[in-house]
Amino acid sequence: MKTLEELISSGQANVIDVRTPAEFMGGHVAGSKNIPLDELPEHLDELRSMKHIVLCCASGNRSGRAASFLKQNQIDCENGGSWMDVNRYC
């Protein structure tokens, strides 16, 4: 099984940024998708179809909450923490 770093650096990860659109526009991981934390329930079907989901935000707090929510809905994912941390692996 590949590590989180390997998935991100190889481009196999689906990076989901759960910050607000304004925060996302201020900087984000190249190729990431912006789905704000409070909109995740509306995207469950879309997220279920993805593999290797890595969540990020500004500090890791919201992405941690997002990971808990998605796991409760049987969606495999990982909390990548800050988008800047995830960006280091790209």
In the chain, the number of structural domains is 1
pLDDT at 1: 66
Q: Domain limits at 68?
A: 4-87
Q: Give the model confidence (pLDDT) of 43-61 as tens digits.
A: 999 999 999 999 999 999 9
Residues of the chain with pLDDT under 50: none
CATH of residue 55: 3.40.250.10
What are 75-80's contacts with CB under 8 Å, separation 24+? 75/44, 75/47, 75/48, 76/51, 77/16, 77/47, 77/53, 78/4, 78/53, 78/54, 79/54, 79/55, 80/4, 80/8, 80/15, 80/54, 80/55, 80/56
